[in-house]
């Protein structure tokens, strides 16, 4: 761990307490002068650190900046979020995560950025990712599951995002099949899962999550203003992105472990409880055909079941949905 990270971890472990320069130098294995230099660096990064003679240092406030040190401090997971690549500006976190995964990045690695200039959405659409307002991140996972089960990981991720939103904000969140997170009738989050596999073996998945957190109305371009929203707009409060990511990582780790042990059933129930889609009349456009009917549930594998006018039940693996 870098010295800055060790210092932040010490502040986090003992909140509100002054920690002496001597103690910090022992924890970090460096000189007191080095500790002082790193505290100065933290201040330049936007941390407010109080220094009192004979008492030591105390952290007053931390910036809501997406740095590896902030996200890993006090995280407490085994894998998810323990390795973080944080950037100021990238084209998209997805290819960076693919590169990292191909070079052996461990499961749970996060690639995130304050801003994406070419954010990618599903079906080749762009994903608007303005600076500092949202969570634009890609998570690398390496599940030992057969290829046909990989779409379940997207449903699992949607459940985890929905639960984190519910816990952190109390907002009434819904999942629109397969993986759009809605508040009311506006989209707050999208998920893009990309797969790297050989024959029937999954090498890794890159799960891209785009969540509008602190955006205000003017942050949305005209074409998105009517259909998109943010946690801040809906709750009337600024939300700590660092805290949100940490809580998401904890929830994801727990849910993912449960999924690997017990299978899809618990996720299916929770997904259905959050569902915006089940019970509604939908029009689905798949690559080959258009289908109209009522969404009646997920099957045991996570495939959407749609009943048409004639009472015939269709299995839908992938489609663009309209309501
Ligand atoms: C959707 O179309 O709803 C999916 C949007 C996914 C956006 C996220 S933001 C982080 C990651 N990087 C990207 O370029 N896209 C995903």
By the 8 A CB rule, do 31 and 98 touch? no
Atom of ligand 1 nearest to the CA of 113: 10
Regarding the beta carbon of 244 and ligand 1, being less than 6 Å apart is answered no
- Pocket lining: 208 vs ligand 1, CB cutoff 6 Å: yes
pLDDT of residue 1: 67
Distance 245 CA to ligand 1 centre (A): 16
- Position 5 confidence tier, pLDDT thresholds 50, 70, 90: confident
- Residue written as token pair 């379940």: 152
- Which two structure tokens, joined as six digits, stand for 243? 């805290």
Confidence of residue 179 (pLDDT cuts 50, 70, 90): confident
User: Does residue 212's CB lie within 6 angstroms of at least one atom of ligand 1?
Assistant: no
* Tens-place pLDDT, residues 268-322: 999 999 999 999 999 998 878 899 999 999 998 889 999 999 999 999 988 888 8
Quick check: 152 pLDDT over 70?
yes
120 lines ligand 1 (CB under 6 A): yes
Does the Cβ of 92 fall within 6 Å of ligand 1? yes
The mean pLDDT value for 221-240 works out to 94
Rounded to the nearest whole angstrom, what is the distance from the C-alpha of residue 49 to the centroid of ligand 1? 35
Complete domains list, the chain, with CATH: 3-61 (1.10.10.10), 68-274 (3.30.930.10), 281-322 (2.30.30.100)
Contact 110, 71 (CB under 8 A): yes
Looking up tokens 């015939």, which residue turns up?
312
When pLDDT is cut at 50, 70 and 90, the band that residue 153 belongs to is: very high
* Cβ-based burial of 268 (10 A; exposed 0-12, middle 13-18, buried ≥19): buried
């Amino acid at each position: 761990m870098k010295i800055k990270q060790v210092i932040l971890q010490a502040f986090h472990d003992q909140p509100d307490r002054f920690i002496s320069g001597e103690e910090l130098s022992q924890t970090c294995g460096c000189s007191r002068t080095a500790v002082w230099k790193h505290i100065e660096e933290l201040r330049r990064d936007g941390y407010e650190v109080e220094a009192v003679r004979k008492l030591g240092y105390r952290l007053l406030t931390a910036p809501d900046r997406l740095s590896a040190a902030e996200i890993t401090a006090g995280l407490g997971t085994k894998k998810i979020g323990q390795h973080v690549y944080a950037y100021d500006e990238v084209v998209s976190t997805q290819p960076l995560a693919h590169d990292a995964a191909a070079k052996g990045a461990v499961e749970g690695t996060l690639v995130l950025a304050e801003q994406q200039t070419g954010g990618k959405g599903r079906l080749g659409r762009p994903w608007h990712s303005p600076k500092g307002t949202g969570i634009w991140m890609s998570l690398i996972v390496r599940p030992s599951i057969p290829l046909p089960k990989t779409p379940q990981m997207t449903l699992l991720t949607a459940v985890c995002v929905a639960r984190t939103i519910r816990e952190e904000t109390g907002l009434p969140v819904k999942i629109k099949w397969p993986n759009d997170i809605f508040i009311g009738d506006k989209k707050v989050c999208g998920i893009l899962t990309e797969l790297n596999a050989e024959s029937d073996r999954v090498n890794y998945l890159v799960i891209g999550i785009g969540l509008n957190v602190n955006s205000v109305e003017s942050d949305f371009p005209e074409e998105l203003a009517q259909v998109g929203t943010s946690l801040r707009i809906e709750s009337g409060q600024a939300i700590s992105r660092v805290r949100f990511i940490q809580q998401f990582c904890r929830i994801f780790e727990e849910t993912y472990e449960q999924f690997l042990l017990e299978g899809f059933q618990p996720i299916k129930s929770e997904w259905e409880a959050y569902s915006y889609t089940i019970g509604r009349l939908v029009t689905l456009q798949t690559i080959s055909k258009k289908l109209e009917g009522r969404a009646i549930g997920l099957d045991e594998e996570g495939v959407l079941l749609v009943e048409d006018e004639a009472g015939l039940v269709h299995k839908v693996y992938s489609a663009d949905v309209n309501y």
